[in-house]
Every structure is written in structure tokens, then in C-alpha cells.
Structure 1
Amino acid sequence: MPPKQDSKKKTDTKGTAKKKEGSSGGKAKKKKWSKGKVRDKLNNLVLFDKAPYDKLLKEVPSYKLITPSVVSERLKVRGSLARKALEELLQKGLIKQVVKHHSQIIYTRTTKAEDALDVIYSQLMHLLPWLSLCR
């Protein structure tokens, strides 16, 4: 009788054959880094021309939310110029300040009802000294 063959030896030969096949893949390649996203260079204005300034006076007071970043993006001006322009609109009474924080200032439009109340209030304050004299 021929000697019995172990089933373990058969699996070992198959396993070594698989290991040889898997290792013949070659050396692993190094990861290539992506270049990242490329943004377009912004060419924003440093000073107002006639057209952007007119747009500032006409359109910006009608925005519901007014911030320096919104003005800078829509009018294509620098952020520092947008901040100064909003301060000017605030002094003229075209917009009103909602929140002032060291990192962000938020304005909103003034409504006609608020304007009417301001006019009435200023008239009453003007008449107040006269009313006290009538007593």
C-alpha cells in the first residue's frame, strides 16, 4: 500500500502558492498630493468710482441684511471701504445698526414707520420746552 497523504500538506502547498502570487504585485506607489482648490483672484476697488457710489446710495439701504462682507461682495469693493461706506450711510440715517461686535457689525434698512416716528419724536422734543412754559 502506498503511504497516506496528509490533507494538511495539500493546503500548505496551496497557501504558499497564493502567497507567492500576492507578493508579485510589486512595490506600492507613493501617494500623490493634490494641488488643492484654486480660487480666482479678486480685483476689488480700493476707492469708490461714480457708478459704485451711486449703487451704494441707491441699493444698499434697501437690503434686508447689511454687513460689510455683503457690501464688499455685491459692489466689488474692499472690506475696509465697505465698513467706511456703511458708517457714512448710518450717519445719513439711511440704515440702522442692529448689532455691533468687535468682529462683525450688522445693519438693516430703516422703514418708513420708523422714519415717521423719528420725525414726530423730534417735533415733540422741539415743543417740549414751550409746553413747560405754558403751565
Structure 2
Amino acid sequence: MAPKVQTTKAAKAAAAMAGGKSRKKTVKRVKDKAQHHVILDQPLYDRIFKEAGASKFFTVSVLVDRLKVNGSLARRALKALEEEGIIKPVITHSKQKTYTRVAE
């Protein structure tokens, strides 16, 4: 290995000031905060039951997208629909549960 060349403070400062071509700054878009429901009131409860007859399958994310509810509310709604016997679980995974309508 070749010995390292000693540089003076003035040389270091000149190298730092020289700089190269400046980079373009990327514009970061700010995502709007979602204004989802956080309380399960009676009109929302009725909408969830109405939606249960209209769709083939349900997941937490489907309810969040369609009904604009919080994730915890969607999980509670799916549990309530399952207890009522309106939907049944198809795939039970630790991260995502998938439900379908009960054939009548």
C-alpha cells in the first residue's frame, strides 16, 4: 500500500467548497390523513349488515375501503356478522381472515 498523502486544512476546505453539480430536490407528496369512522353507531351497523348481502367475500381491508371504517371496527364488525351466522370464515390466517356469505 502506498503511504497516505498529508493534506492541509486549506486544501481540505478548498475541496469541500468546490462541490459538484447540485442535485434536484424531490418533491414529497403528503398523503391526506384518512377520516374514517372510529365509533360503531347504529346507522353504520345497518350499513355493514346491508353490505354483507352484496359482496361475495369479506376481509378487514375490504370493509375499510368500502365503508370508510377503522381497522379495529372492521374486525369487530366481521366478528359480529360471524356470530349472527351471516358470514363464515374461509381462510383463517394469523394476519388476514377471509369470510364469505353463508348460502341460504
Give the equivalent residue in structure 2 for 1:76: 68
Displacement of 1:33:
2.6
**Rg larger for:** 1
Q: Which amino acid aligns with 1:77?
A: V
Gap regions ≥5 residues in structure 2: 1-18
Name the CA distance, whole Å, in 1 between partners of 2:53 and 2:29: 35
Q: Which runs of 4+ in 1 moved over 2 A?
A: 35-38
* RMSD between superposed Cα atoms in Å: 1.6
Higher strand share: 2
TM-score with structure 1 setting the length = 0.58
TM-score with structure 2 setting the length = 0.74
- Which of 38, 43, 49 is the aligned partner of 1:51? 43
Displacement of 1:94:
0.4
Displacement of 1:28:
5.3
Asked whether 1:41 is paired with 2:33, we answer yes
Give the equivalent residue in structure 2 for 1:86: 78
Higher helix share: 1
Give the equivalent residue in structure 2 for 1:122: none
Number of aligned residue pairs:
86
Percent same amino acid at aligned positions? 42
Moved more, 99-108 or 61-70: 61-70
Name the CA distance, whole Å, in 2 between partners of 1:51 and 1:60: 14
Larger RCO: Structure 1 or Structure 2 (Cα < 8 Å, ≥ 6 residues apart)?
2
Name the CA distance, whole Å, in 2 between partners of 1:78 and 1:67: 13
